[in-house]
Every structure is written in C-alpha cells, then in structure tokens.
Amino acid sequence: MAKRLGSQTVVFDKQPIILSGAAIVGKKEGDGPLARYFDDVVDDEYAGEKTFEAAESRILKDTFSKALEKSGKAAADINVILAGDLLNQSTAASYAFRDANTPFIGLFGACSTMSESLTIGSMLIDGGSADYAVCAASSHFCSAERQFRFPLEYGSQRTPTAQWTVTGSGAVILGKDGQGPRIVCATPGKIIDQGIKDANNMGAAMAPAACDTITSHLKDLGRSADDYDLILTGDLGSFGSSMLNDLMIKNGIDMKNKHKDCGTLIFDLEKQGVNCGGSGCGCSAAVFSTYIMNQFRQGALKRILFIATGALMSPTRSQQGESIPGVAHAVCIEA
Amino acid sequence: MKKPISKHEYQKMVDKKAPGSHIARNIFAAFITGGIICSIGQVVLMIAENFGADKDTAAAVTSITMIFLGAFLTGINVYDEIAKFGGAGASVPITGFSNSIVSPAMEFKKEGYIMGVGAKMFLIAGPVLVYGIFASVVAGLLYFIWKQVV
C-alpha cells in the first residue's frame, strides 16, 4: 500500500509502470520542434468529423488506440480509463470513450488533467483496484476558442502574455507490471488563487500553484531540485515559467537550470506566433506521452518531476469579477 | 520556507514583469489598416457620386459595399488575419462590425439555424447595438429638448 509522506505526498509501494505513450497533434503542433516524436499529425482541423468537438474526441480516441497498440495490451486488459479535457461536461473524453466498453472516470483539472490522471491511475494500480489503466487528456484549439474566447474568424489581437491552445492529445498505458519508467510518488496539488483576473495571462494564474506543489513535494521528500534531471511543468508558457522561477527563489529554491515547460517546448515561440507558448490539456499530455517517454527510453532521463498546471478558469465566473484559481499536480517518474 | 507572498505583492510582481504590447507598432499598423479601409470607402463613395448618386444615396451605397467586403473577407478566412495585423484599425470601421456578426454566424452554424446562427449571431455585436441604439435615443431626446428651448 502507498504511504503518505509529509503534508501531501504519496509514495507508491507497487510502483506503476508506464508501458507506452502516444500522442496525436494538429498541424501547427506538427510544424513545431517536437514534430518527430508525435505518432501522428492531423492536418485537417476537423479530423474528418463534422465539428471541432467531434474532431477532438476522434483525436483522443485514436491516441488511445495508438497507445494501446504500442503497449502490446488488448482493450480487454484495461480496467479503467481516466481522461479529461477542457470542454464543458468534459465531452471530448466522454464521447471519445462512449464505445470503449471499459469503466471510465472523467476528470477535470483544466490543463493539469494529465498529471491528475497519472496520480489517480497510480493510486488505483498501487491499491490493487486496477491492473492496467489508461491516462489521457486532450484539447483542441478550435473547440477551446469557441468555448472560452471568440469565434475563429473574428478579428482580434492577442495580448503578449496569451497562450495558444494546443490541438492534440496524449495517452499513456499504466500497468502493474512490464517494462518502462515507473511512477514512484505523486503530490496532488492544492488550489491556489493569487488573485490574477486576466484570462489572457493564465501563466501568471498557474505559477503560484506550481510553486506550491513543487515546494511541498521537495519538502515532503526532503529533496532539492538537484535530485531531479528535469522539473517539467505543464503549460505555464514563457511568462508563467519566469514567474514560477521568481516565486521559487523567494522560497529559497533555485530550479532554473532543471526547469522546462511543455508550453514552450511544443512550439517555436519566435516563429509560430503563439506569444507565450502552448496551453491546453493536450499540450502537457502530448509532450509527456511521447517526447519525455522517448527521453527515458534513450536513457537521457533518470528521474523527473512532471507537474501539469491548470488554470481553473470559467468565463462565467471571470465575467462576474472572480479571479482565476490554479492547481498543479506533481508526479515523480524514474527510469 | 519564508512567509507566503500576498495577492497584492504577487500582482505587483506580475505587473512589473509582464511583457507589454508594442504600442508604437500597434498604433502604426492600426493607422495603416484603418487608413486603407477608409480610403477604399472613399473611392466607392466617389464612384457612386460619379454615377450621379446624391450624397445620401452615395453614402448608403458605400456602407452597403463596405459591409459586403467585410462579410466576404470574413467568409474566405481573411479578415481575422487583417485584424491580427491591424487591430483597432480593422475592428473600428464598418467592415469590422460586419466581421463581428458574420464570424459568430459562421462559427455557430453547427448548432443549427435557430439556437446556433440565430441566437449567437449578435454575440459580439450585441452590446454595440444595445448601447449604440440607447445612445442615439439619448442624443435624439437632447436634440428635441434643445430645439424646444432655442
């Protein structure tokens, strides 16, 4: 059984193994620096479907199939699917898996969904509730734009701190046995709201949550940033990342040399016109499931801390004058 | 661990560090874009007058033409690119108003003609219409009172 350590960290006894990971992304992501790691690039923003919402479900479903294929497992081996997305009622995930004939637990953690699903999946496997689980998340630029911002063809400018919602999804297969990197512990994050109200500055809204979770994680385990090869945040973007590093220094932790962010890895910030970088559940899910898993296979990484960060933003609450709460969940993965 | 920073302190940190907009570049782009759109409008007006239209008719023809151009460029996925460059220079002229109505109409067609196009068409232009009409009523009343007094 897992053991709780310090204020909020859970150390797993039967460490779940990441058997495989897969990601399918959109065209813009396919033009980015990580293109060669992704399993497929879908040029058509409708992915052959009639609506953007259906396209997102299609991409998520295909990513799941791809991850399953790479793991060598059959769909019948999977005990539970843990997935989520950004859409109202998490419809991208629920429609993607409506024919899966597998127990489904829908998650919402905004862009923190991938590490949220890894945390819960690991707990289920460690506790013996599941032998094999799928952890997945998705987002789609067009479905997110129409829900959170403006119609696609409406002419507007983005502020410099804005981020670009990634079209794509990532999925990993977790198992009780097999070959692959192991999830050794997890630190579920608290909701932290430092009063940021600007929906075009999600990085600033999420950075305090990431700071809180990382600080708690290190404190609970008595570790320093140097104990990790990489501290990978979800989608803080370039501005959120610099805020995180400033906040960490205020906490007496310098992790700048160890830190990278999925939002700045997935796009070329100079050339792709994405301002502060990528965002959306699919951003960290796709980067983690393919690029990072590849780095583990190459032996380039031995131990990382993966912290997907979510801005729990609701257009309704924002219009009512509320600030944006952030949440970040950390999982520690070892080769 | 040191004591946590307050919301106020954090907001100050963010404001200090946040990259600002390129104001000079944006103003220049808006001036050029808005200028070109208005120049096209002026050409349409002069052509209409050349064909013998009176002042009111020529103005109406110009508005209709510019609204059509805005709608057309939105329909072929070009207007958002113009606005990305030109900012307010593209959204303030009547072509931008046209874009703000046509873009939701296109976007929400998937939800049907009643709850989609019909209900969402004025999603962005709605407030402009509400307060535009309200302001014109107020102006009309003031004008009426002024006329009575003078």
Say if residues A85 and A283 touch (Cβ distance below 8 Å). Answer: no
Written as one letter, the residue type at A226 is: D
Domain spans, chain A:
3-175, 182-334
* Cα–Cα distance for residue pair A158/A249, rounded to 1 Å: 30
Q: In the beta sheet, which residues pair with residue A3?
A: A11
DSSP A191: P
B42-89 pLDDT, tens digit each: 999 999 999 999 999 999 999 999 999 999 999 999 999 999 999 999
pTM of the complete model: 0.93
Residue in this structure with the two tokens 């500055």, named with its chain if needed: A201
- Nearest partner of B9 among A142, A156, A208, A35, judged by Cα: A208
Q: Domain A182-334 is classified in which CATH homologous superfamily? A: Stage V sporulation protein AD (3.40.47.40)
DSSP A264: H
Residues 161-180 of A with CB under 8 A from B: 161
- Nearest partner of A133 among A151, A120, A145, A148, judged by Cα: A120
Residue A110: exposed, middle, or buried by beta-carbon count in 10 A (0-12, 13-18, 19+)? buried
| CATH T-level assignment (fold) for domain A3-175 | Peroxisomal Thiolase; Chain A, domain 1 (3.40.47)
Nearest CB to A153; choose among B14, B21, B77: B77
Matching fold, domains A3-175 and A182-334: yes
Interface membership of B84 toward A (CB under 8 Å): yes
Strands (E) across chain A are located at 3-5, 9-11, 17-26, 40-42, 80-84, 104-107, 132-139, 164-165, 168-175, 182-187, 230-233, 259-261, 278-279, 303-311, 326-334
Mean pLDDT, chain A cut into blocks of 10 residues (335 residues total) = 89 97 97 97 96 97 97 96 96 96 96 97 96 98 93 90 96 96 97 94 96 97 96 96 96 95 96 94 97 96 97 94 97 97
Domain spans, chain B:
23-121
Residue A156, CA distances (Å) to A55, A151, A285, B83, B99 in order: 25, 10, 28, 6, 10
Beta strands A182-187 and A326-334, pairing class: antiparallel
Strands (E) across A85-129 are located at 104-107
Per CB-CB distance under 8 Å, the chain A contacts of B128 are: none
A179 three-state secondary structure: coil
In this complex, do A146 and B13 lie within 8 Å of one another by their Cβ atoms?
Answer: no
A236-273 pLDDT, tens digit each: 999 999 999 999 999 999 999 999 999 999 999 999 99
Nearest CB to B21; choose among A159, A208, A219: A159
